[in-house]
Amino acid sequence: MPDNETAFRALLDHMAVTSDLSQTMAVLSWDENTYMPDGAAEARGRQMATLATVIHERLADPALAELVARLEDAGLPEDSVEAATVRQARRAVDHASKLPASLVEALSMHGARARSVWARARQESDFTSFAPELARMFELKREEAEVLGYQDHPYDALHDLHEPGSTAARVRDVFVPLRRELTTLVAEIRDAGSQIDDALLRQSFDEAAQERFALDTVTAFGYDLEHGRLDRTVHPFATSLSKYDVRITTRYQRHYLNTALFGTMHEAGHGLYEQGVADEYYRTPLEDTASLGVHESQSRLWENLVGRSRAFWEGAFPRLQRTFPEQLGTVALDPFYAAINRVQPSFIRVEADEVTYNLHIILRFELELALLDGSLSVADLPEAWNHGMQEMFGITPPDDAAGVLQDVHWSIGLIGYFPTYSLGNLISVQLFDAAVAAHPHIPADIRAGRFGTLLRWLRENVHRHGARYLPEELLERATGSGLDAGPYLRYLKAKYGELYGLS
């Protein structure tokens, strides 16, 4: 029997090699989504499948499970880095060893098939053709939930994969008041009568100039190009190829400034998080992030709380005007600030503003919960979707393409994932408030184009910890309170009350 120290070192050695393999796979995936020629798709698929198999075998290795079990019984101090490392290793081991290979394969095969049926169904706005594929996917995911295990609701098992420690009940706790208050706020804005015109954002903007401005902005935030890069893609993302190489992508629309402007800030926020993980966690199970929700809190914080704030543009607008003198040279700050924050109940989630965005998520959460526990049938889904849209937004989609068929997530089995977007929004305000409470000069800094104090606070309280803490634990430590919709609602009401002249 090795002693605990030897066992822990063996665990680290095993996981370090696995980490190298996973990061190698991330390089292949980044390349696939950026510069890989179309003709390489099949060969790349094979390379990635081989790597995935090798990684899976390493994680399902009984010798690793034995090390983990032994260290769990070793009485490691609960708050120690070692205990957190073992906990993360346990998550990986369980996921790899609980799911039978047949289910893993069925999920991957069906995901590929359902995704392509979904793409065509969306194009033709034909839900009926997609319905059997979706029903099968929910069956498989129910099976997965059963194998993984849960206490209250099968949703918990699936949601926990993306938001460790969170449950459907926990999400419902915050979503119920959020739904009620946001629905009221949306109706108030709709009835306020003051319309915001965003035509000034819909002129012609040179793409290279957009890129220069976006890159200057995110490097000023602290995004490090020595350990990152910015490329173009159709569907923007951020990816960590190790904490020393965290890449972001964006897309440009010549006739709409917001896409690249806020999209790049968003992805840079994700990038800043992973660049900030502590060096000593490199190649360990802690070189990761707390959860998707915390990840999204970082992107939303830089995109919205910094990037869509008046303070930021008081400093940055002259620079944007110099970049686009013809289009914006004579525009005043106020109409620009209003335009980038325009609220418009709309059908498509990815185009939604800060106020309506979370209602899109709440709708999806309620529906996937009901589909999973069988209280809603797939056949009744479009009607339930449209009913929810009417109730929350006061609008009904003209067809299923603009409704229930708009997102890829469910087709590829991402169920229990949507809430993390909203959790991220809520957490972003909780963290920002805590940072400003600790350093009241942060808003003045942002106005002056200085972001160092804010970034240092985030590094210290969030980034450097990697996957050491569960998301709610991390939030408690950083802000003194658990997940809470209150701060987010107060933020929205203050900002949009002023913009729309609500009393």
> From the CB of residue 46, how many other CB atoms can be counted at a distance below 10 Å?
10
Which residues, at least 6 apart from 465, have a Cβ–Cβ distance to it below 8 Å? Answer: 277, 278, 290, 474
The pair of three-digit structure tokens given for residue 49, joined into one six-digit string: 């499948």
Q: Is 291 in the site for Zn ion (CB under 5 A)?
A: no
| DSSP class of 358 | H
How many residues interact with Zn ion (rule CB under 5 A)? 2
- State which residue, 7 or 292, has the beta carbon closest to Zn ion: 292
Catalytic residue flag (residue 267): yes
Find the helix packing angle between 452-461 and 419-438, rounded to 10°.
120
Q: Where are the alpha helices (DSSP H) in 284-418?
A: 292-300, 310-323, 325-328, 333-340, 354-373, 381-393
- State which residue, 299 or 358, has the beta carbon closest to Zn ion: 299
> Order of strands, edge to edge, in the sheet holding 230-232?
230-232, 246-250, 238-240
Q: Residue 449 CB, nearest distance to Zn ion (Å)?
A: 24
- State which residue, 163 or 296, has the beta carbon closest to Zn ion: 296
The residue annotated as part of the active site, out of 267, 274, 287, 368, is 267
- State which residue, 263 or 388, has the beta carbon closest to Zn ion: 263
Write out the H or E segment, with its range, that includes residue 240. strand 238-240
Please give the residues from 299 up to 318 whose contact with Zn ion meets the rule CB under 5 A. Answer: 299
Listed ranges 55-63, 127-135, 253-261, 296-304: which one lies at the site for Zn ion (CB under 5 A): 296-304
Contact 428, 487 (CB under 8 A): no
Q: Residue 247 CB, nearest distance to Zn ion (Å)?
A: 14
- State which residue, 30 or 500, has the beta carbon closest to Zn ion: 30
Closest Cα to residue 131, out of 369, 382, 361?
Answer: 382
Q: What is the CA radius of gyration of the chain?
A: 23
Q: Residue 402 CB, nearest distance to Zn ion (Å)?
A: 22
Listed ranges 7-15, 249-257, 291-299, 394-402: which one lies at the site for Zn ion (CB under 5 A): 291-299
Listed ranges 91-99, 221-229, 295-303, 326-334: which one lies at the site for Zn ion (CB under 5 A): 295-303
With CB atoms as reference, the residue minimizing the distance to Zn ion is 299
The pair of three-digit structure tokens given for residue 18, joined into one six-digit string: 């696995």
Cα distance between residue 210 and residue 328, in whole Å: 13
Q: Residue 270 CB, nearest distance to Zn ion (Å)?
A: 6
Q: Residue 296 CB, nearest distance to Zn ion (Å)?
A: 5
- State which residue, 269 or 403, has the beta carbon closest to Zn ion: 269
Listed ranges 6-14, 159-167, 292-300, 401-409: which one lies at the site for Zn ion (CB under 5 A): 292-300
Q: Give the CB-side neighbour count of residue 309, counting CA atoms within 13 A.
A: 23
Q: Residue 376 CB, nearest distance to Zn ion (Å)?
A: 28
Listed ranges 41-49, 298-306, 322-330, 355-363: which one lies at the site for Zn ion (CB under 5 A): 298-306
Q: Residue 292 CB, nearest distance to Zn ion (Å)?
A: 8
Residue 283, sorted as left (phi over 0), alpha (psi -120 to 50) or beta, turns out to be: left
Write out the H or E segment, with its range, that includes residue 147. helix 127-148
- State which residue, 313 or 421, has the beta carbon closest to Zn ion: 421
Q: Kindly list the catalytic residues.
A: 267
Instruction: Name the site residues for Zn ion (rule: CB under 5 A).
Output: 296, 299
